[in-house]
Amino acid sequence: MANLTIAVDEDVLQRARVRAAEQGTSVNAVLREQLIRFADPAAGDRAADGFLALARERAGHSTGGRRSWSREELHLERLPVERRMHDEDNEPG
């Protein structure tokens, strides 16, 4: 993975760190995801298309208020393969 250095106002960086921490992430992770989306704008369209296809497929198949998926599963589907591999390599255990 390549490194990137940017210049940003110290106050902006501090507020970004606080907000990222509140969301359980880091400024680095937020910027990485934004760059991925910026570099491949069609990725968002593909994700939306997949969601709509799933919604059409599952229409009328209620789970009685129980979810059959977890938040983590949804996020893993969004992440690029190389990101998932990186996260799995860094898991404690």
Distance from chain centroid for Cα 12? 22
Domain boundaries, the chain: 9-39, 42-93
pTM over 0.85: no
Share in percent of the chain as helix, strand, coil (round to 5):
65, 0, 35
What 8-state DSSP symbol labels residue 90? Answer: T
Give pLDDT tens digits for 28-85: 999 998 888 888 877 777 778 888 888 888 776 666 667 777 777 777 777 665 555 5
Q: Please say whether the dihedral angle defined by the alpha carbons of residues 61, 64, 68 and 69, taken in this order, is positive or negative.
A: positive
